[in-house]
């Protein structure tokens, strides 16, 4: 592979097992070509060898997935805003954000995070029955304990799912320290989080908007420690880069606009609405489709809301042949 636009040509022998030959690797080549003109030789080499670990036959998968999600987002903005795009922009020296760009007189600072799902996958694959909660329910532990006794009485095992709300809190705290002061109404600070399948995205939404969610008036964390974050983007880019050889329905893995993304404004942000609207036009999002999607049933609206993402993907997208997510076998 030979990315163009660098100061000198690089010859790369791709050994990373998470970058299979074929469409996925060709997509990475094009992505590197689009972002390379914006990187110094040193930055490009660090991206290829240290982040993506392209010539490493035994890389750590979580590190690769973080790098892949980050590159997909950065390359998107390099492609569409080439004259103002900045890679690893030090907006708050000495710390930097993953990228920034300018349009219509505003500057947008973008930080990208992707969780390590190793523990979650171990629990999911090794457990017969799993219980999860949307948000932080006050009686969650007692409920789990009671249900575990009931399951045990019939010879079954119930385990609590692995929640990542503390991880999202850490992402918000960290991004807050990288972003300029929230009072600057010419800059908009965006945290992008790579998520997994529809059910997982529903959980991450709950970490923001569910019981004691981080973007509610009763947050379990200190809101002053992430008030510089104006917007969170939840996107299924982790899902689209994880185990690509097993996901035959997906295409355009390295294309941000092919992902399923949702926007969540920090209610404590005081930025003019125009900044949100300008940023929202830079990517494909499904907030409007979800808000208009109706689920039939007698459950209260707040319960239906917690099923909306999975139901919309299954009933609207998969049923019409739209595959932003890979269906599970039998779906």
SS (H, E, C) 258-320: HCCEEEEECCCCCCCHHHHHHHHCCCCCCHHHHHHCCCCCCCCHHHHHCCHHHHHHHHHHHHH
User: Are 228 and 142 contained in the same domain?
Assistant: no
pLDDT band at 294 (very low <50, low <70, confident <90, very high): confident
Per-residue pLDDT reduced to its tens digit, 20-46: 999 999 999 999 999 999 999 999 999
User: Are 39 and 188 contained in the same domain?
Assistant: no
Q: What is the pLDDT of residue 5?
A: 44
Report yes or no on 156 lying in a domain: yes
User: Are 16 and 97 contained in the same domain?
Assistant: no
Higher pLDDT, 54 or 149: 54
Q: What is the pLDDT of residue 2?
A: 44
Under 8 Å between Cβ of 16 and 1: no
What is the mean pLDDT of the segment spanning 302-318? 85
Report yes or no on 194 lying in a domain: yes
User: Are 132 and 175 contained in the same domain?
Assistant: no
Report yes or no on 327 lying in a domain: no
Task: From 59, 85, 100, give the residue that closes a domain.
Answer: 59
User: Are 203 and 301 contained in the same domain?
Assistant: yes
Give the helix ranges, DSSP H, for 46-117: 61-80
User: Are 87 and 190 contained in the same domain?
Assistant: yes
Q: What is the pLDDT of residue 144?
A: 56
Q: Is the pLDDT of residue 303 over 90?
A: no
Taking alpha carbons only, the member of 210, 172, 176, 189 closest to residue 270 is: 189
Q: Is the pLDDT of residue 147 over 90?
A: no
What is the mean pLDDT of the segment spanning 228-241? 98
Report yes or no on 109 lying in a domain: yes
Q: How many CB atoms lie within 10 A of CB 45?
A: 13
- 47: domain range? 1-59
Q: What is the pLDDT of residue 119?
A: 79
Q: How many CB atoms lie within 10 A of CB 63?
A: 17
């Amino acid at each position: 592979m030979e990315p163009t636009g660098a100061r000198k040509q690089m010859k790369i022998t791709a050994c990373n097992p998470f970058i299979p030959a074929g469409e996925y690797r060709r997509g990475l080549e094009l992505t590197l070509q689009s972002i390379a003109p914006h990187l110094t030789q040193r930055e490009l080499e660090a991206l290829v060898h240290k982040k993506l670990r392209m010539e490493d036959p035994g890389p750590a998968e979580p590190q690769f997935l973080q790098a892949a999600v980050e590159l997909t987002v950065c390359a998107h903005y390099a492609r569409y805003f080439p004259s103002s795009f900045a890679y690893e922009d030090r907006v708050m020296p000495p710390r930097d954000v993953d990228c920034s760009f300018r349009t219509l007189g505003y500057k947008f600072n973008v930080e990208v995070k992707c969780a390590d799902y190793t523990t979650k996958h171990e629990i999911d694959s090794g457990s017969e029955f799993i219980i999860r909660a949307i948000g932080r329910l006050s009686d969650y532990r007692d409920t789990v304990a009671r249900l575990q006794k009931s399951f045990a009485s019939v010879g079954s095992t119930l385990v609590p799912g692995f929640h990542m709300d503390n991880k999202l809190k850490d992402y918000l705290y960290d991004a807050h320290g990288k972003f300029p002061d929230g009072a600057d109404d010419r800059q908009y600070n965006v945290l992008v989080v790579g998520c997994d399948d529809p059910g997982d995205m529903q959980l991450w939404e709950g970490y923001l908007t569910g019981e004691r969610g981080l973007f509610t008036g009763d947050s379990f964390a200190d809101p002053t420690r992430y008030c510089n974050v104006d917007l969170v983007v939840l996107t299924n880019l982790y899902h689209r880069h994880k185990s690509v050889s097993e996901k035959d329905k997906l295409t355009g893995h390295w294309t941000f606009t092919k992902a399923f993304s949702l926007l969540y404004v920090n209610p404590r942000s005081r930025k003019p609405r125009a900044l949100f609207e300008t940023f929202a036009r830079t990517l494909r999002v499904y907030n409007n489709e979800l808000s208009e999607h109706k689920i039939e049933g007698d459950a209260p609206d707040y319960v239906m809301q917690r099923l909306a993402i999975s139901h919309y993907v299954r009933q609207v997208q998969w049923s019409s042949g739209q595959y932003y997510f890979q269906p599970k076998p039998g779906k």
